[in-house]
Amino acid sequence: MPSISKRVWGALALAVALPLALTSCGGDSGDKIVIGTKFDQPGLGLRSPDGSMSGFDVDVARYIANELGYPEDKIEWKEAPSAQRENLIQNGQVDFIVATYSITDARKEKVDFAGPYLITGQSLLVRADDDEITGEASLQNNKKLCSVAGSTPAQRIKDKYPGVQLQEYETYSECVEALKNGAIDAVSTDEVILAGYAAQQPGVFKIVGEPFSEERYGIGLKKGDSELRSKIDDAIVKMEQDGSWKKAWDDNLGGAGIPAPTPPQPDRN
């Protein structure tokens, strides 16, 4: 092609290659790191309409990314709904996930976890004026309960309370909307998540009963990547020791009406 110079071809090749390089998700190859989190859980992982991210999980993820050599402007956030988390990791669409993600044996068959970095427990959210639902036992009385597909709370309800009318939505924000407009009677998931929603709309909802499980939040990553896992564990320990963990809790969930948990030690096994 005599009419097109080498230089033009070079520029064209760059124009094609550059965006590919920038969106590459491998932490080692690209200059960005791709982190999966929730986009609709206030206090934990929330994306505002202007695109800015906030929440305890987001702050934990930011701290870890920075320790790995990726400051804020090198982070690409990807939404990680409950049912898609293992897939996103296995397909290499994210480098790691910080998204209210409980460490379980079933999940460990597909992915590895650093952490735990937070421990909470399953609870119930109802409308503030509800005086019939006082704990998980009262759900058996023909009450409609919402939880999320692919989550440990939904699975626990199916296993332990088969009489409950469980509706599985894709996200907790959809459950909370349905609770508000009366389509369902209660939402069940981890207490910290419920507290985040309750704090966002004061006076509309309340948490009832005591937590009835132990949810240990870990950071999901590719199975077998023990190097990344141990670097993330180191970052968690550092975050807990230098006061950043406590600050992240206070900033994001300090006003949500639940006691501040003790920072846990990573398992490292």
Say if CB 103 and CB 217 are below 8 A apart: yes
From the list 37, 173, 189, 252, which residue makes contact with ligand GLU (rule: CB under 6 A)?
Answer: 189
Nearer to ligand GLU, 70 or 111 (CB): 111
Distance in Å, CB of 155 to ligand GLU, minimum: 8
Of the ranges 19-27, 99-107, 174-182, 252-260, which one interacts with ligand GLU (CB under 6 A)?
99-107
CB-nearer residue toward ligand GLU: 57 or 225: 57
Indicate whether 151 belongs to the interface with ligand GLU (CB under 6 A). Answer: yes
Window 18-57: residues binding ligand GLU (CB under 6 A): none
**Three state DSSP letters for 120-144:** ECEEEEEECCCCCCCCHHHHHCCCE
Instruction: Count the neighbouring beta carbons within 10 Å of the beta carbon of residue 249.
Output: 20
Could you tell me which stretch among 8-16, 25-33, 93-101, 202-210 binds ligand GLU (CB under 6 A)?
93-101
Minimum Å distance from CB 101 to ligand GLU? 5
Asked if 171 touches ligand GLU (CB under 6 A), the answer is: no
Residue whose CB is less far from ligand GLU, 27 or 37: 37
How many Å separate Cα 157 from the centre of its chain? 20
Single out the residue of 94, 119, 124, 148 in contact with ligand GLU (rule: CB under 6 A): 148
Q: Is residue 153 a contact residue for ligand GLU (CB under 6 A)?
A: yes
Instruction: Break the chain down into helix, strand, coil percent, rounded to 5.
Output: 40, 25, 40
Question: Does the footprint of ligand GLU cover residue 82 (CB under 6 A)?
Answer: yes
Of 84, 100, 138, 173, the one binding ligand GLU (CB under 6 A) is 100
Strands 165-169 and 144-148: parallel
- Transcribe 162-210 into DSSP letters: TTSEEEEES-HHHHHHHHHTTS-SEEEEEHHHHHHHHHHSTTTEEEES-
Question: 221 has which bridge partners?
Answer: 112
- Is 86 an interacting residue with respect to ligand GLU (CB under 6 A)? no
DSSP 8-state class, residue 156? H
Residues contributing to the site for ligand GLU (CB under 6 A): 82, 99-102, 148, 151-153, 189-190, 215
